[in-house]
Amino acid sequence: MQIYLPIAEMSVNAFLLLGLGGMVGILSGMFGVGGGFLMTPLLFFIGIPPAVAVATEANQIVASSFSGVLAHFKRKTVDFKMGTVLLVGGLIGAYLGIQLFNHLRSLGQVDLLVKLSYVVFLGIIGSLMFVESLNAIRRAKKTGTAAKRKKHNWIHNLPLKMKFRASGLYISVIPPFVIGIFVGVLAAIMGVGGGFVMVPAMIYLIGMPTKVVIGTSLFQIIFVTAFTTMMHATTNFTVDIVLAVLLLVGGVIGAQIGTRIGVKMKAEQLRILLAILVLAVCGKLALDLLLQPGELYSLGNSGGH
């Protein structure tokens, strides 16, 4: 069934979008990742203009994060104070990101910015995950030697310290603030929640306890992506609600199925699969940039959409 997207101004197969949403939803449920970093490039591949894909995906992430954070509210695993510091940074970062996005859009370079960011981040994350899960499998075979984390580092010597009760931390607000800014920029230009950067940063850099990490990052993501959605909707007019609804219907159902599959499968093998998938998407995007395109010319609307 073809459906006409009012903002993207193109006709696409509704079942294809539901299927994509469902597939990415299953993966995000299985691995506990947001899925924005897979969905946005997939939207490029089916021909959605990158500007529309990024803005619409931000809107969809609001839905999936909200769905996820409710469970964490109930279990009281959200550090609101830490979340607020991350959020203030995130809003500033998102604002800066949107400015950069709009500037490059006017220069006709936004596709390049978005695709390059994806190649870099998917490349880094994919390789790290791949190595990490290979090591985990090796460790599991040897048994015993669990890696230990260093507790004290330069981060603990920074000024402006604050107490974060829910996390049991007394640290400077600078690191979470800076992490927030960084994630905000990513949300604005890549259409991702940024959980894949924030979660490791919270664990390894800030030293937050694992049980509050996911809830707190979801809390931050909701507001940052909501802000990003509003910014894109009011400055670029690129949020396609019909596209968002189709993706999120598939996404929420997929996520619930994925969670159940995830419980039954071995974590290390799953992670390797995800790593390979991330690297494949990265490779496809990189090839598009590296190989000579079939059509060297492209058309752009002048004077807005």
Partner 1 sequence: MFRFVLLFLLAALPLKAEEIVADLSQSSVGISATFDGSNILIFGAISRDAPAPTSEPLQVIISVAGPSKPVTVRLKEKKVGIWVNSDSVLIDEAPSFYSVATTAPLIEILTDDEDRFHKVSIDRAINSMSAQIQSSGHARDFVEALIRIRTDNGLYQVHEGAVELMSDTLFRTSIDLPSNLTAGEYTARILITRDQRVVDMFETKLDIQKVGIERWLYNLAHDNAVYYGLMSLFIAIAAGWLASAVFSYFRP
Cα–Cα dist 105/112, whole Å: 10
Contact in structure between 51 and 105 (CB atoms under 8 Å): yes
Closer to partner 1 by Cβ: residue 146 or 290: 290
Q: What sections of 143-240 are H helices per DSSP?
A: 174-190, 195-200, 210-235
Which residue carries 């695993």 as its tokens? Answer: 77
Q: How far is the CB of 206 from partner 1 (least distance, A)?
A: 26
Least CB distance to partner 1 at residue 153 (A): 35
Specify the residue, 70 or 131, whose C-beta has the smaller distance to partner 1: 70
Taking alpha carbons only, the member of 248, 191, 237 closest to residue 17 is 248
Choose between 158 and 289: whose C-beta lies nearer to partner 1.
Answer: 289
Contacts of 295 (CB under 8 A, 6+ apart): none
Could you tell me the two tokens for 305? 């959409």
Our CB check for partner 1 shows the closer of 47 and 200 to be: 47
Cβ proximity to partner 1: between 145 and 302 the closer is 302
Min separation Cβ 269 and partner 1, Å: 25
Q: What's the min distance (Å) between Cβ of 300 and partner 1?
A: 4
CB of 291 to partner 1, least distance (A): 8
Smallest distance from the beta carbon of 91 to partner 1, in angstroms?
15
Q: 280 CB contacts (<8 Å, ≥6 apart)? A: none
Residues that bind partner 1 in the complex, under the rule CB under 8 A: 1-4, 6-7, 9-11, 59-60, 62-68, 70-71, 108-109, 111-112, 116, 226, 229-230, 233-234, 237, 239, 241-242, 244-245, 248-249, 252-253, 255-256, 289-293, 295-303
Rounded to a whole number of angstroms, the distance between the first and last alpha carbons of the chain is 26
Residue 145 or residue 301: which is nearer to partner 1 going by CB?
A: 301
CA separation, residue 293 to residues 18, 121, 211 (Å)? 29, 23, 46
What is d(CA 116, CA 189) in angstroms, rounded to the nearest whole number? Answer: 11
| Closest separation in Å from C-beta 271 to partner 1 | 24
CB-count burial class (<10 Å; 0-12, 13-18, 19+) for 203: middle
Q: Which is nearer to partner 1, 68 or 191 (CB)?
A: 68
